[in-house]
Structure 1
Amino acid sequence: MIVSEIFRSLQGEGKNQGRPCTFIRLAGCNLRCAWCDTPYAREGGEEMTVTQVLDRVWLLRGTHICITGGEPLLQREEVLKLLEKFDLHGYTVEIETNGTRDFREMQPYASICMDVKCPSSGEKSDLALLAFITPRDCVKFVVADEDDLLYARAVMSRCEIRGEIFISPVEGSDYRAVADQIVEENLPVRFQLQLHKILEIK
């Protein structure tokens, strides 16, 4: 598999925000989001075997894993092999995905965080995949402006989403305006700032 980086940090978003976590960031992405905060992961990376990844993770310690990207599901077969090994060793795993690749094969081994792309990103997720989100999974809308929030509201109104929903403002956008609108409309979401950006860590 092609790995951009493996590191320890705090989970900055989603259901496990604030939890110590080992991140496996895979290289390669099929989207080019306007506000992407990891453009370096789109290309390059280091070729590693599943065993080498496991060894690196073991040295970093910790039992909570986040597989992210780029778009990790572009390396589906390798990710499945890795998940099977993590499952055998008792790790808890979550996968962050842009919602353009079917994730159902991964769900027996990992929770899913589907990042639904809003208009400001310049990209689109496959909304049909929302039907496969379970209560152990979550969905995230990264919003830059009112149009993005309107889009998120429209998606929530026409798609049944069984997992928890997060609204996360793009770094530098008007956080208070987003929070006020969520409260005013009583949206069924959790407002969330990206903790790693606030702490200026990975």
Structure 2
Amino acid sequence: MIVSEIFRSLQGEGKNQGRPCTFIRLAGCNLRCAWCDTSYAWEGGEEMSVTEVLDQVWLQNMTYISITGGEPLLWAEEVLELLKKFNLHGYTVEIETNGTRDFRAMQPYASICMDVKCPSSGEKSDLSLLRYITPKDSVKFVVADDEDLLYARAVMAHYEIRGEVFISPVEGADYRAIADYIVEENLPVRFQVQLHKILGVK
């Protein structure tokens, strides 16, 4: 697999926000979201074996791991092998995915955070995958404007989502307006700003 970086930080978003975490960022993505903040991971990176990744993670000395990208499920076979190894050693693992690749094989070993792409991204997720989200998983809508909020609301109305749902503003969006909309419409979500952006860390 091609690895963009492995590093320690705080989880900046999702249900584990604020937890110390080892991030495994895999290179390559099948989407080109307009507001992507990790476009450096679209290309480049270093080829690493599963064993080499395991060794790097072990040196980080943390028990919570986030596998992200890019789109990590482009490397599904290697990721699944990693997950099985992590499971044997008692790690807690979350996979952040753009919702274009089937993640069911990963669910026995990791929680899934499916990032549903809204209109402002210029891309689309496979919404049929929402049926496979379980209570231990989560769904995230990154929103920039009213159109994105209306889209998120329509998706939630059409699909039963069994995991927790987050709405996260794009950096620079009108946070207050988005928060006000959630309150006014009583959306069944948690509003969440990206902690890592506030702290100025990865």
Does 1:152 pair with 2:186? no
Summarize the alignment of residues 9-20 of structure 1 with structure 2, pairs less than 5 Å apart.
Answer: 9-20=9-20
SS across alignment from 2:15: coil
Match of 2:51 in 1: 51
For structure 1, which runs of at least 5 residues remain unmatched after alignment? none
Q: Aligned equivalents of 1:60 and 1:44: distance in 2?
A: 23
Match of 1:34 in 2: 34
Deviation at 1:79, TM superposition (A): 0.3
Cα deviation 1:54-97 (Å, max 9, x = unaligned): 11011111100000000000001000110010001110000000
Q: Aligned equivalents of 1:123 and 1:62: distance in 2?
A: 34
Match of 1:127 in 2: 127
What is the alpha-carbon root mean square deviation over aligned residues?
Answer: 0.3
Q: Aligned equivalents of 2:167 and 2:109: distance in 1?
A: 25
Q: Aligned equivalents of 1:91 and 1:11: distance in 2?
A: 15
Percent identity over paired residues? 84
Deviation at 1:9, TM superposition (A): 0.2
Q: Aligned equivalents of 1:49 and 1:102: distance in 2?
A: 23
Deviation at 1:8, TM superposition (A): 0.2
Does 1:4 pair with 2:4? yes
For structure 2, which runs of at least 5 residues remain unmatched after alignment? none
Does 1:76 pair with 2:59? no
Provide TM-score, normalisation by structure 1: 1.00
Match of 1:112 in 2: 112
Cα deviation 1:118-161 (Å, max 9, x = unaligned): 00000000000000000000000000000000000000000000
Q: Aligned equivalents of 1:30 and 1:46: distance in 2?
A: 18
Match of 2:175 in 1: 175
> Following TM superposition, where does structure 1 have runs of at least 4 consecutive aligned residues deviating by more than 6 angstroms?
none
Deviation at 1:172, TM superposition (A): 0.4
Match of 1:102 in 2: 102
Provide TM-score, normalisation by structure 2: 1.00
